[in-house]
Structures are given as structure tokens and as C-alpha cells.
Structure 1
Amino acid sequence: AGFAVWLTGMPASGKTTLAHALQTHLAAQGIPTILLDSDDLRPILTPQPTYTP
């Protein structure tokens, strides 16, 4: 069985830095990881986003 870890927070609060550190730590324990970064996924999921006021 697997598990998910969600890191949330304000912009520029260190989420990506923490995610990479956690990924490195888990890999050292032999635990495979997949890192999904919203900055990478956003253009794929919403290539032309529209915003309403």
C-alpha cells in the first residue's frame, strides 16, 4: 500500500524545497516517490485558463 503527502502553503514558502528534501530522504530509505508540482501540471491541466472577477 502507498501513501500521499500533500504540501500546501503560501507562494514562495518553501514547499518545493521541502518536497525535494522529502523525496531525497524517502529515496534513501528505498521508498519510491513521484513528485507532482503544480507549476509543472498547471499548463497541462489548464493550458489557457480564464479568470472571472
Structure 2
Amino acid sequence: MAVPKKRTSIAKKRIRKNIWKMEGYWIALKAFSLAKSLSTGNSKSFFVQQEQERNK
């Protein structure tokens, strides 16, 4: 027979939720940093092929 589980305290729920939110924050921060380095051309981990303008 199934037995209901005990309720998780509000403090534990809040801690877990904040950890989950912070993971997303750090991933977004890294993505923004990588995009910034790519746009300025200072990236050392990615090689972006630059298009050359042709004068006609």
C-alpha cells in the first residue's frame, strides 16, 4: 500500500529553487561572456571566419 511522503519544508524548497536558478544564471553569464569575446575578436577558443569586403 502506498504511503504519502512527508512534506518538504519551505526552507529546503527555497534553497533548492535558488540553486536551480543560480545554475541558469551562471550558464547565461558564460554564454554572454563568450558572445562578447566573439564580437570583439578576442576569443581564443573559437575561430570565426571573417568575410572580406570586395570593392567592385
The answer to whether TM tops 0.5 is no
Q: Highest CA radius of gyration, 1 or 2?
A: 2
**Greater RCO, CA 8 A, separation 6+:** 1
Please classify the TM superposition score into its range, dividing by the shorter chain length: 0.3 to 0.5
Q: Provide the TM-score with structure 1 as the length reference.
A: 0.37
With normalisation by structure 2, the TM-score equals: 0.36
